[in-house]
Chain A
Amino acid sequence: MARVMIVDDALFMRQLLTKIFVDEGYEVCVEAGTARDAVEKYKEFKPDVVTMDIVMPMMEDLDGIGAVKEILKFDPRAKVVVVSVMGEQSLVVEAIKAGAKDFVVKPVRPARLLDVVKGLLR
Chain B
Amino acid sequence: MQDSYRELFLSESQEYLSNISNRLVKLESNPSDPESLNEIFRCVHTLKGMSATMGYERLTQLSHHMEDLLEELRGQKRKVTPEIMDVLFASVDVLSELVEDIKTNRESEINISAYISELEQIIHSDIPSASKAEAAFPRGKTSPVHPESIEFSEEELKAIRYAKSKGFNIFKINIRLVSDCLMKESRAFLIITNLKKIGEILKAVPPVEELEKGFFDFSFSVVLITREAQAVIRQEMMMISEVEGVYVNPVEVSAPVGPAANTPAHAYIKKIQSLRIPIERLDKIMNLIGELAIARIRLSQIVANIKEESLEEASVLLSSLISALQDEIMQTRLLPVAYILDTFPRMVRDMAKKEEKRIDLEIVGSDIELDRVILDEIGDPLVHLIRNSIDHGIESPQERKAVGKPPAGKLQILVSRQKGQISIEISDDGRGVEFDAVKNIALRKGLITQEEADGLDDKKVLDLISLPGFSTSEKITDISGRGVGLDAVKSKIESIGGRLDFTTNLGKGSTFILSLPFTLAIIKAMLVRVGKEVFAVPLINIRETIKVEKHDIKVLQNLEVIRVREEIIPVLRLDKEFVITISPEDKNRNALGEINSNQEDGRVPIVIVEFGKHSLGLVVSQVIGEQDIVVKPLTSLIKRTRGIAGATILGDGKVALILDIMSLK
- A residues engaging B (CB < 8 A)? 84, 86-87, 89, 92-93, 96-97, 102-105, 112, 115-116, 119-120, 122
Contacts and interface: CB of A to CB of B under 8 A. Distances in A.
A119 B241 contact: yes
A92 B238 contact: no
Contact of B241 (A84, A97, A115): A115
Contacts of B183: 84, 86-87, 89, 92, 103, 105
Contact of A116 (B193, B212, B241): B241
B186 A89 contact: yes
A89 B56 CA distance: 37
A103 B186 contact: yes
B277 interface: no
Contacts of A92: 183, 186, 189-190
Given A87-B183, A105-B183, A119-B238, 12 more contacts: A92-B189, A96-B193, A102-B190, A102-B240, A102-B241, A103-B183, A105-B182, A112-B242, A116-B241, A119-B239, A120-B239, A122-B239
Contact of A89 (B185, B193, B238): B185
The residue in B189, B238, B241, B242 that gathers the most chain A C-beta atoms within 10 A of its C-beta is B241
Contacts of A122: 239
Interface string B235-259: 0001111100000000000000000
Contacts of B185: 89
Nearest to B241: A116
11 contacts: A84-B186, A86-B183, A89-B186, A92-B189, A96-B190, A102-B190, A103-B183, A103-B186, A104-B241, A112-B241, A119-B240
A112 B193 CA distance: 21
A58 B190 CA distance: 25
A87 B185 CA distance: 10
A21 to B, nearest CB: 15
B563 to A, nearest CB: 66
A93 B240 CA distance: 15
Interface in B167-191: 182-183, 185-187, 189-190
Contacts of A119: 238-241
A89 B189 CA distance: 10
A92 B184 CA distance: 11
Nearest to B271: A115
A50 B242 CA distance: 19
A86 B180 CA distance: 13
B189 A93 contact: yes
Nearest to A92: B186
A104 B240 CA distance: 11
A48 B189 CA distance: 24
A94 B326 CA distance: 56
Nearest to A117: B241
Interface of B: 182-183, 185-187, 189-190, 193, 212, 238-242
A86 B182 CA distance: 8
Contacts of A89: 183, 185-186
A92 B183 CA distance: 10
B193 A97 contact: yes
A120 B239 CA distance: 7
Contacts of B239: 119-120, 122
Contacts of B241: 102, 104, 112, 115-116, 119
Contacts of B242: 112
B190 A103 contact: yes
A72 to B, nearest CB: 14
A96 B189 contact: yes
Contacts of A96: 186, 189-190, 193
A93 B238 contact: no
B186 A93 contact: yes
A12 to B, nearest CB: 20
A119 B240 CA distance: 7
Contacts of B187: 103
A92 B239 CA distance: 18
The residue in B182, B238, B240, B242 that gathers the most chain A C-beta atoms within 10 A of its C-beta is B182
Contacts of A120: 239
B378 to A, nearest CB: 35
Nearest to A99: B193
A102 B189 CA distance: 11
A97 B189 CA distance: 9
A104 B182 CA distance: 9
Contacts of A104: 241
A116 B242 CA distance: 8
A92 B187 CA distance: 9
A102 B237 CA distance: 12
Contacts of A116: 241
B557 to A, nearest CB: 72
Contacts of B238: 119
Nearest to B240: A102
For the complex of A and B, 4 pairs with smallest distance between CB atoms: A116-B241, A105-B182, A92-B186, A119-B239
Contacts of A102: 190, 240-241
A119 to B, nearest CB: 5
A86 B184 CA distance: 10
A105 B185 CA distance: 12
Contacts of A115: 241
Nearest to B242: A112
Contacts of A93: 186, 189, 212
Nearest to A100: B190
Contacts of A97: 193
Contacts of B212: 93
Nearest to A90: B186
Contacts of B240: 102, 119
A93 B242 CA distance: 16
A122 B187 CA distance: 20
A84 B183 CA distance: 10
Nearest to B239: A119
A54 to B, nearest CB: 11
Nearest to A106: B182
B439 to A, nearest CB: 59
B292 to A, nearest CB: 38
Contacts of A112: 241-242
Nearest to A112: B241
